[in-house]
A = this chain, B = another copy of it.
Amino acid sequence: MPKIPTLTDIIEAAERIKPYAHRTPVLQSSWFNEQTGAELFFKCENFQKVGAFKFRGACNAIMKLPKRDGEKGIVTHSSGNHAQAVALAAKLNGYKATIVMPKNAPKVKVEAVKGYGAKIVFCESTIDAREETAQTIIQETGATFIHPYNHPDVIAGQGTSAKELLEEIPDLDVIIAPVGGGGLMSGTLIAAKAINPNIKVYGAEPELADDAWRSLKSGKIEPVLRTDTIADGLRTSLGSLTFEIIQSHINDIVTVPEASIIRDMRNIWERMKIIIEPSCAVPVAAIMDGKVPVEGLKVGVIITGGNVDLDNLPW
């Protein structure tokens, strides 16, 4: 079992990734404040390198590798933001990245990863095929596998976003973020609770991918049962490490229906003029639907990314 990172690890991660990662802006919206009766602070990771918070974790994990390991290469399997994050972080460190992607991955995502100079190895679209293919590459080359969330250095990297947010707005009462594999939520919990033990941290999930909510209730990692939520970044079950951190620290996990996710994705686009991917709208919808108590409070919302296929919008 890998070691659970601490605030010190997050502070070190922040220093480590500083030359490469953006310090993303914190935006406000008078319309959302009026609608909710709260003061909302949106931490905009859609403006992060590769368009998502994932760059923080991948960059920290790859920069922390001993040079002799990095030079043997980096491997991961992902068809989402983590793939681009690993590709770019490896490139910036002068390492070779190999990304295992399912044969049916959207062309736009394949091109994005190629654009960052990574090698792509295609496989069947099952999780077993992905893991086997990655394993084969590791055995052949000695490359290092960077897990998208169940990895202490990745978690510490993701926690740097909440750390920055609390530096800017130190008196937040609440932070809310989406829960997919739990890497962002774990890093957020460690940073936020160490900086301010009284802060409340909530997770938000689509009703159609409520595995973290069920895991919290049952006390063990529950699988995602369906993969048809529009929030494509959240179709993932928790890992052993992220489950342990979330179980120990989180105040609550709430779920929202698809219609609310689409509604508030559009509200953010129209009212704030920023492009967010559907996963980001999940915590916003939780607030707008009254699923978490926010009235009169200062609330941080982590906007996780902005990678959307503009030819396939949900309206």
Q: Which residues of A pack against B, CB within 8 Å?
A: 25, 27, 46-47, 51, 266, 269-270, 272-276, 306, 310-311, 313, 315
Which residues of B have CB within 8 Å of A27? 47
CB distance from A263 to the nearest CB of B (A): 12
A77 to B47, CA, bound (A): 37
* Cross-interface CB contact of A269 among B47, B266, B270, B310, cutoff 8 Å: B310
Q: A47-B273, A269-B310 are in contact. List 14 more A-B contacts (CB 8 A).
A: A25-B25, A27-B47, A51-B273, A266-B310, A269-B275, A270-B310, A273-B274, A273-B275, A274-B274, A274-B275, A275-B275, A310-B313, A311-B315, A313-B313
| Contact between A273 and B306, CB atoms less than 8 A apart | yes
Which residues of B have CB within 8 Å of A272? 47
Which residues of B have CB within 8 Å of A310? 266, 269-270, 313, 315
Which residues of B have CB within 8 Å of A47? 27, 272-273
A272 to B47, CA, bound (A): 7
| Contact between B25 and A273, CB atoms less than 8 A apart | no
A51 to B269, CA, bound (A): 11
21 A-B pairs with CB atoms under 8 Å apart are A25-B25, A27-B47, A46-B273, A47-B272, A47-B273, A51-B273, A266-B310, A269-B275, A269-B310, A270-B310, A273-B274, A273-B275, A273-B276, A273-B306, A274-B274, A274-B275, A275-B275, A310-B313, A310-B315, A311-B315, A313-B313
